[in-house]
């Protein structure tokens, strides 16, 4: 591997090396925690460097062995994947910092930080791999790390959630591996850039469409699309809030990323079926998610169902396959990672003040006593709805504009209606947790709450973490223009993958002319 390849490798190996060191220090929680935070900080630094390299010089690729593409293992970064690894690394750093105040030494000594670091390495690997089989491998790494974090602590409800999570995701794994095998049998390659070329030469488009649908179903389970999201509300409410925050921020987004990568780079031969199905799934997922959230009376379950609904929004641009639609999808996906981690972490602090109870009847009265907490919760909540001046406004504006330009009236109407229901859900949640009077407590309950309330040491970790997320969400809304410019370039690269293919296969590769959709590349 040449020296120029290290910027693509470092975001993956840094958390893996930190995980190995943290595992060796598991008997010393403070040292282990320090390694985790420093590892995440280093990963963030390397991902920012990678983003700058890609922004200045276009997509980058490196073969990590002596075998060159399309035969060897290749890592590739375009603007889409580079932006995602930056946001993922920032999320990992925030979670590592916050976890020191919530996880406890028991979970830390049993591997919380190594699992966290391995999960972040898996996310970076999934975003940067240029090989469809290695995408499956990274999914398996993510699955193992996620299961470890889910059941860490050994509580009955955690084991139950972990088993449900594993069962449904194993179905996705089998489906994905079968689809990869069939695709390899038809094309003779696993490299995604090479697949873009070889798929155009396949003489059995009907079978290719069947394989595309198999990929769609596998990724639909991973992303939590309707009706395949049952694992998500069954598992996300069981671990500590900091773990739920990490899952809500990243896991489903990796499934969405895989959909976008595969259905813009490989399967564009029969968009009436594949992308039409994506549009239908987007509508059903938005509706199921917001109605599920509206029906809940427990804060953790409400937030979990908002994860589902927002995945539906992200699929709008992919279903449209237009430049404005993909701008909306990519920007909304980036900011939603931050929104979810912000809501769950701020919600976690509120739950601590209620003795770890998240039912609506046990919450209330935090507005006057904890104004700063109300503010850092309100900012990502506004972004979830899509209100200005925060980041979610620009993402939803681009998605709705893209749908209107494409005359996709159903997608437009459902997106707007789902946003209004989300406003109701978020408004009710905010009033319940912060505005309404605190519930009457017995002396024993008051003592229990005092025992669970964060200490000064806890707050020294929690406050910077949630404040940083809120500031970034607000900053993305107020100073959206430079980020939207990068996202616009990312959308162009998705619609016209010539630069991606050239970076992987070299200048002699001659991909087929990119499809023009609605007059826009």
Predicted local distance difference test score (pLDDT) of residue 511: 54
Are 208 and 269 within 8 A, CB to CB?
yes
Q: Could you give the dihedral angle defined by the CA atoms of residues 251, 257, 263 and 264, in that order, rounded to the nearest 10 degrees?
A: 180
> Exposed, middle or buried, 345 (CB in 10 Å: 0-12/13-18/19+)?
buried
Written as one string, the DSSP assignment of 45-113 is HHHHHHHHHHHHH--EEEESSSSPTTTS-EEEE-HHHHHHHHHHHHHHHHHHHHHHHHT-HHHHHTTHH
Predicted local distance difference test score (pLDDT) of residue 395: 93
Predicted local distance difference test score (pLDDT) of residue 478: 94
pLDDT at 519 over 60: no
Region 250-273 average pLDDT: 91
Alpha helices in 111-155 (DSSP H): 112-128, 132-151
Q: What is the mean pLDDT of the chain?
A: 88
Region 119-132 average pLDDT: 95
- Backbone phi and psi for residue 60, each to the nearest 5 degrees, phi listed first: -120, 145
**Of 360, 390, 375, which is closest to residue 473 (Cα–Cα)?**
390
Predicted local distance difference test score (pLDDT) of residue 354: 76
Predicted local distance difference test score (pLDDT) of residue 73: 87
Calpha distance 501→269 (Å, rounded):
17
Whole-prediction pTM: 0.92
Are 124 and 12 within 8 A, CB to CB?
yes
CB atoms within 10 A of CB 46: 24
With cut-offs at 50, 70 and 90, classify the pLDDT of residue 518.
Answer: very low
**pLDDT tens sequence across 395-437:** 999 999 999 999 999 999 999 999 999 999 999 999 888 888 7
Element counts in the chain: helices (H) and strands (E)? 22, 2
Calpha distance 245→351 (Å, rounded):
13
**pLDDT tens sequence across 435-467:** 887 777 777 777 777 777 788 888 888 999 999
Predicted local distance difference test score (pLDDT) of residue 106: 67
Calpha distance 121→10 (Å, rounded):
10
Predicted local distance difference test score (pLDDT) of residue 27: 80
- Which residues, at least 6 apart from 485, have a Cβ–Cβ distance to it below 8 Å? none
Which has more confidence, 284 or 110?
Answer: 284
Region 264-279 average pLDDT: 89
**pLDDT tens sequence across 280-304:** 999 999 999 999 999 998 888 999 9
Query: How many angstroms separate the first and last alpha carbons of the chain?
Result: 33
Predicted local distance difference test score (pLDDT) of residue 318: 94
**Of 196, 332, 215, which is closest to residue 277 (Cα–Cα)?**
215
Q: Which residue do the tokens 């499956």 mark?
A: 136
pLDDT at 166 over 60: yes
pLDDT at 514 over 50: no
Determine the Cα angle at 77 with ends 504 and 500, to 5°: 40
Judge if the upstream peptide bond of residue 227 is cis by omega within 30 degrees of 0: yes
Tell me how long the chain is.
Answer: 521
With cut-offs at 50, 70 and 90, classify the pLDDT of residue 510.
Answer: low
Sign, CA torsion 176/181/182/183: positive
Structure tokens at 436: 């309404």
pLDDT at 167 over 60: yes
Region 126-141 average pLDDT: 93
Are 389 and 477 within 8 A, CB to CB?
yes
Least confident window among 81-85, 193-197, 275-279, 503-507: 503-507
**pLDDT tens sequence across 12-44:** 999 999 999 988 887 888 888 899 999 999 999
Predicted local distance difference test score (pLDDT) of residue 154: 63
Judge if the upstream peptide bond of residue 502 is cis by omega within 30 degrees of 0: no
Predicted local distance difference test score (pLDDT) of residue 60: 94
Beta bridge partners of 191: 131
pLDDT at 157 over 80: no
């Amino acid at each position: 591997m040449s020296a120029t390849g290290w910027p693509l490798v470092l975001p993956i190996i840094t958390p893996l090396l930190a995980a190995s060191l943290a595992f060796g220090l598991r008997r010393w929680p403070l040292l282990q925690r320090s390694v985790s935070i420093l590892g995440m900080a280093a990963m963030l630094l390397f991902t920012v460097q990678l983003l700058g390299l890609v922004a200045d010089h276009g997509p980058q690729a490196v073969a990590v062995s002596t075998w060159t593409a399309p035969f060897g293992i290749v890592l590739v970064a375009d603007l889409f994947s580079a932006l995602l690894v930056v946001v993922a690394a920032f999320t990992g750093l925030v979670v590592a910092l916050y976890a020191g105040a919530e996880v406890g030494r028991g979970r830390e000594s049993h591997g919380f930080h190594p699992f966290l670091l391995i999960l972040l390495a898996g996310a970076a690997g999934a975003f940067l791999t240029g090989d469809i089989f290695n995408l499956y491998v990274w999914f398996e790494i993510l699955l193992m790390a996620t299961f470890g974090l889910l059941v860490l602590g050994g509580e009955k409800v955690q084991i139950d959630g972990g088993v449900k999570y594993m069962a449904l995701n194993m179905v996705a794994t089998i489906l994905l591996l079968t689809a990869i095998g069939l695709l390899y049998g038809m094309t003779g390659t696993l490299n995604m850039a090479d697949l873009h070329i070889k798929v155009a030469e396949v003489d059995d488009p009907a079978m290719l469409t069947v394989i595309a649908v198999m990929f769609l179903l596998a990724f639909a389970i991973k992303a939590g699309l309707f009706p395949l999201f049952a694992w998500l509300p069954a598992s996300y409410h069981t671990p500590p809030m900091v773990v739920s925050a990490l899952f809500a921020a990243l896991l489903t987004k990796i499934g969405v990323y895989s959909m976008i990568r595969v259905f813009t780079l490989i399967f564009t031969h029969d968009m009436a079926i594949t992308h039409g199905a994506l549009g239908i799934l987007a509508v059903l997922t938005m509706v199921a998610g917001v109605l599920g959230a509206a029906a809940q009376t427990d804060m953790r379950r409400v937030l979990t169902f908002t994860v589902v609904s927002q995945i539906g929004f992200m699929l709008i641009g992919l279903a449209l396959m237009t430049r404005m639609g993909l701008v909306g999808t990519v920007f909304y996906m980036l900011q939603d990672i931050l929104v979810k981690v912000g809501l769950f972490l701020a919600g976690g602090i509120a739950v601590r003040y209620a003795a770890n109870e998240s039912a609506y009847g046990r919450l209330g009265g935090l507005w006057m006593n904890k104004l700063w907490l109300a503010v850092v919760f309100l900012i990502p909540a506004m972004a979830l709805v899509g209100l200005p001046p925060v980041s979610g406004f620009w993402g939803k504006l681009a998605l709705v504009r893209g749908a209107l330009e494409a005359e996709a009236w159903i997608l437009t109407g459902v997106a707007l209606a789902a946003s209004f229901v989300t406003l109701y859900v978020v408004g009710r949640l905010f009033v319940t947790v912060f505005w309404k009077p605190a519930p009457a407590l017995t002396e024993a309950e008051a003592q229990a709450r005092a025992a669970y309330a964060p200490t000064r040491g806890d707050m020294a970790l929690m406050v910077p973490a949630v404040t940083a997320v809120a500031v970034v969400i607000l900053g993305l809304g107020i100073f959206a223009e430079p980020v939207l410019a990068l996202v616009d370039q990312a959308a162009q690269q998705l619609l016209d993958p010539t630069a991606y293919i050239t970076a992987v296969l070299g200048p002699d590769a001659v991909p087929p002319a990119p499809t023009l959709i609605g007059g826009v590349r």
